[in-house]
């Protein structure tokens, strides 16, 4: 049975205040040592609700029947205050507020996992007609044999420019055998999450030929940093490299996680790029640290004078937003012009956000997730001056690249948001109305980890898979 990934929608507009330095240093509200939530469940819940949530003295937690409400707040209130008349004791004196929040998360995660069963193995898509809610379609494999493709963008002549995580750049004529890699590209730190990540072309590429790369550069072992450069391809070789952004040497990090590194240009030629918190959550709230932020620079790496923190003492002028844990998706809404982003949460709490100038998106002071070891981070999911997500996913779906569909070949998908999800090996279609997610549909799953999705110049959708490394094309079947 395929995994059914549970999701919870957070409704309402994203609104808030400009970044204030005093708010950036606020630590997560985690008083004292916290316990693994699975251990807490086994100790205080399993005797009544069953070791696998199957029920016993008390009702099962695997169905959708919630006598006292199944939303997060109601579940937390039941755990904290009890339902004495129904035989449910209060645990507010035994569990801390973060532990109660973690228990709500754990119940959602365990329910989804147990109800879904074992995840199927990876298969190869064939040319059969597949059905979705709005369009029948076929899947075509247009490139195969890649090694962890991460970023992709189309050149004006219709060829596809692809970055592969070990440090490979290729220019692909789709549907033909792989061409040799571009030579002379920079050496990368290809450890764990690191390597060569996103790739983009300048908005005026036809005139200037600039190509942008985000990659992990090694420093003194075992440290590394996110570096952004631009260069050109001439006669199959990377040339004319210029540094656009690089952290100071004293801010290189030994942790090999959470690099972020997604690119997006705006209509004025500014380059937006993301950097994850690099495994140190508190850095996301430090205005003097680039990690855990979305940045905005001029096309040559200069700092735009209208960036929100240009005049703030001690702050990095490139910062556009803060409190972003590990954002790996950026897209412009084709109607409103707003900047949308997906963000990896910790264990649960993956987010979809609308990014606005100078706002704080809360990590780690607020989150819907817990630590990977099962301990809570905080009980706070909202706080004044911190932005709540448009939607969040529990359990994790590991959202990566995103795009709003703008082609004409799938009219029923026009302006819907497509999200590449690494967990569940799925491509998800998301319908939004204003700042509200109204519907989600899994278009396909089970063909490999879905890393990125882009619009093609032919009006089709192109999808990058990892494990195996492939590029897929979705084609209408009618």
pLDDT digits (tens, 9 = 90+) for 430-461: 999 999 999 999 999 999 999 999 999 999 99
| Residues contacting residue 385 through CB under 8 Å, at least 6 positions apart | 16, 17, 20, 23, 360
Specify whether the CB–CB gap between 79 and 100 falls below 8 A. Answer: yes
Q: Which residues of 419-444 are buried (b: 16+ CB within 10 A; e: fewer)?
A: bbbbbbbbbbbbbbeebebeebebbb
Q: Residue 116 belongs to what H/E stretch?
A: helix 97-116
pLDDT for residue 20 = 43
Kindly state whether residue 50 falls inside one of the protein's structural domains: no
Grouping H, G, I as helix, E, B as strand and the rest as coil, residue 432 is strand
CB atoms < 10 A from the CB of 399, how many? 27
pLDDT at residue 345, rounded to an integer: 97
The reply to whether 258 belongs to the active site is yes
202: domain CATH number?
2.120.10.30
Any domain includes 32: no
Q: Which two tokens stand for residue 129?
A: 């007609």
Edge-to-edge strand ranges of the sheet holding 436-445: 399-404, 417-421, 426-433, 436-445
Which residue, 201, 260, 200, 250, is CA-closest to 226? 260
Domain with 328, as residue range(s), is 130-476
Counting as low any pLDDT under 70, the low residues of the chain are 1-33, 119-120
Q: Find, among 392, 391, 388, 372, the residue nearest to 380 by Cα.
A: 388
Alpha-carbon distance of 30 to 96, in angstroms, equals 9
In contact, 225 and 160? CB cutoff 8 Å: no
Indicate whether 334 belongs to any domain: yes
Q: At what angle do helices 97-116 and 37-44 cross, to 10 degrees?
A: 90
Structure tokens at 362: 């809360």
Using alpha carbons, list the distances in angstroms from residue 135 to 131, 226, 463: 6, 40, 17
- 451 lies in some domain: yes
Q: Which residue has the tokens 């997730």?
A: 369
> 258, 295, 344, 452: which is the annotated catalytic residue?
258
Distance between CA atoms of 179 and 67, rounded to whole angstroms?
60
Q: Report strand pairing: 7-9 vs 391-393.
A: antiparallel
Please say whether the beta carbons of 108 and 54 come within 8 A. Answer: no
At a CB cut-off of 8 Å and minimum separation 6, what does 451 contact? 148, 149, 150, 400, 401, 420, 422, 464, 465, 466
Beta strands in 100-236 (DSSP E): 130-131, 136-146, 149-154, 160-164, 168-172, 196-201, 211-218, 224-234
d(CA 40, CA 103): 8
- Residue 14: its pLDDT value, please? 28
Q: In this structure, what is the dihedral angle of CA atoms 96, 97, 100, 104, given to the nearest 10 degrees?
A: -160
Angle CA 321–416–364, to nearest 5: 30
CB neighbour list of residue 329: distance below 8 Å, 6 or more residues apart: 262, 340, 341, 342, 343, 399, 400, 401, 402, 419, 420
In a domain? residue 305? yes
**Number of folded domains that form the chain:** 1
363/383 Cα distance (integer angstroms): 11
Sequence-ordered list of residues with C-beta below 8 angstroms from that of 311, at least 6 positions apart, any chain: none
Return the bridge partners of 154, or none.
160
Four-residue CA torsion sign, 447, 424, 438, 68 = positive
In a domain, 53, yes or no: no
Q: Residue 112 has what pLDDT?
A: 84
Q: 7 near 393, Cβ under 8 Å? A: yes
Residue 15 lies inside a defined structural domain of this protein: no
Would residue 332 count as lying in a domain? yes
DSSP secondary structure letter of residue 6: -
Q: Residue 451 is encoded by which pair of tokens?
A: 């890393």
Binning the chain into helix, strand and coil, the percentages to the nearest 5 are 15, 35, 55
HEC letters along 29-83: CCCCCCCCHHHHHHHHCHHHHCCCCCCCCCCCCCCCCCCCCCCHHHHHHHHHHCE
User: Is the pTM above the cut of 0.85?
Assistant: yes
How many helices and strands, by DSSP H and E, does the chain display? 6, 25
């Amino acid at each position: 049975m395929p995994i059914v990934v549970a999701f919870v929608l957070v409704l309402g507009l994203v609104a808030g205040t400009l970044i204030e330095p005093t708010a950036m240093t606020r630590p997560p509200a985690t008083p004292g040592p916290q316990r693994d939530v699975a251990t807490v469940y086994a100790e205080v819940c399993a005797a009544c609700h069953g070791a696998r949530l199957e029920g016993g003295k008390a009702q099962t937690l695997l169905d959708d029947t919630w006598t006292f409400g199944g939303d997060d707040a109601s579940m937390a209130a039941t755990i904290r205050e009890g339902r004495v008349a129904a035989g449910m004791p209060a645990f507010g004196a035994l569990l801390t507020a973060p532990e109660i929040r973690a228990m709500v998360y754990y119940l959602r995660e365990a329910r989804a996992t147990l109800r879904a069963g074992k995840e199927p193995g990876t298969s190869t898509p064939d040319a059969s007609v597949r059905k979705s809610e709005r369009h029948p379609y076929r899947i075509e494999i247009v490139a195969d044999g890649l090694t962890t493709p991460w970023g992709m963008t189309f050149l004006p002549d219709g060829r596809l420019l692809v970055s592969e995580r070990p440090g490979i750049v290729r220019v692909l004529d789709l549907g033909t055998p792989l061409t040799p890699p571009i030579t002379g590209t920079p050496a990368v730190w290809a450890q764990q999450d690191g390597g060569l990540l996103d790739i983009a072309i300048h908005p005026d590429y036809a005139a200037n030929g600039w190509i942008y790369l985000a990659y992990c550069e090694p420093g003194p072992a075992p440290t590394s940093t996110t570096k952004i450069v631009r260069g050109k391809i001439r006669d199959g070789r990377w040339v004319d490299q210029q540094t656009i952004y690089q952290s100071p040497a004293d801010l290189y990090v030994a942790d090999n996680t959470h690099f972020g590194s997604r690119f997006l240009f705006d209509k004025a030629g500014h380059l937006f790029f993301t950097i994850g918190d690099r495994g140190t959550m508190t850095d996301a709230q430090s205005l003097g640290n680039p990690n855990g932020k979305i940045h905005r620079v001029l096309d040559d790496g200069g700092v735009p004078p209208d960036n929100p923190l240009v005049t703030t003492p001690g702050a990095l002028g490139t910062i556009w937003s803060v409190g972003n844990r590990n954002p790996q998706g950026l897209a412009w809404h084709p109607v409103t012009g707003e900047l949308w982003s997906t963000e990896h949460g910790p264990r649960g709490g993956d987010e979809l956000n609308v990014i606005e100038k100078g706002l704080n998106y809360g990590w780690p002071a607020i989150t819907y997730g817990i630590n990977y070891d099962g301990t809570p981070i905080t009980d706070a999911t909202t706080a004044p001056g911190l932005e709540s997500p448009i939607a969040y996913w529990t359990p994790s779906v590991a959202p990566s690249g995103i795009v709003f569909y703008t082609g004409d070949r799938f009219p029923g998908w026009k302006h819907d948001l497509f999200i590449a999800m690494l967990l569940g090996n799925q491509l998800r279609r998301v319908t939004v109305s204003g700042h509200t997610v109204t519907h989600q549909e899994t278009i396909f799953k089970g063909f490999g980890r879905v890393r990125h999705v882009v619009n093609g110049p032919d009006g089709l959708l192109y999808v990058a898979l990892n494990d195996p490394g492939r590029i897929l094309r979705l084609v209408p079947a009618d």
